[in-house]
Amino acid sequence: MKYIPGTHIVATLETKEIALLSTYEAFRAEADRLIAAYGLHNLGEVYHHFSPAGFTAVICLSESHLSVHTWPEFGKVNLDIYLSNHQRSNDGTVQAIYTALVLFFKAEILQQQNITR
């Protein structure tokens, strides 16, 4: 078996859709949909709502992880998506999930780093 590095995308987004940043329910439904659609495996998750608004979420996947932290008071979202290529190539999957989440938040990309590791 040969080691193939995975793809890690770390980004800061900006949106005017403050309601999407305020509570995690809609994001949770979208994350669940994406995980199922791409055949990923959720091992556990933590969602936390901040007062008065905002949330953080970490989803542990057998392929690695997906995390998000929102700043509704600034209209900002921090995304972190990493998938390994242990069982199959997930490079396209990382990009597809990232693109879907940018569209979900109706966001503009302020910063993005793609890391192969």
Residue 1 in any domain: the answer is no
Task: Please give the pLDDT value at position 97.
Answer: 98
How far apart, in Å, are the Cα atoms of 116 and each of 4, 12, 81, 110? Answer: 9, 18, 12, 20
Task: Please give the pLDDT value at position 12.
Answer: 99
Residue 67 in any domain: the answer is yes
* Tokens (6 digits) for 15: 């949106």
Domain that residue 32 falls in: 7-116
Residue 37 in any domain: the answer is yes
Mean pLDDT of 6-24: 97
Backbone angles phi, psi at 83, to 5 degrees: -130, 130
Task: Please give the pLDDT value at position 3.
Answer: 84
Structural domains of the chain, count = 1
Residue 2 in any domain: the answer is no
CATH number at residue 91: 3.60.90.10
**pTM for the whole thing?**
0.94
Q: In the structure, what pLDDT confidence band is assigned to residue 40 with cuts at 50, 70 and 90? A: very high
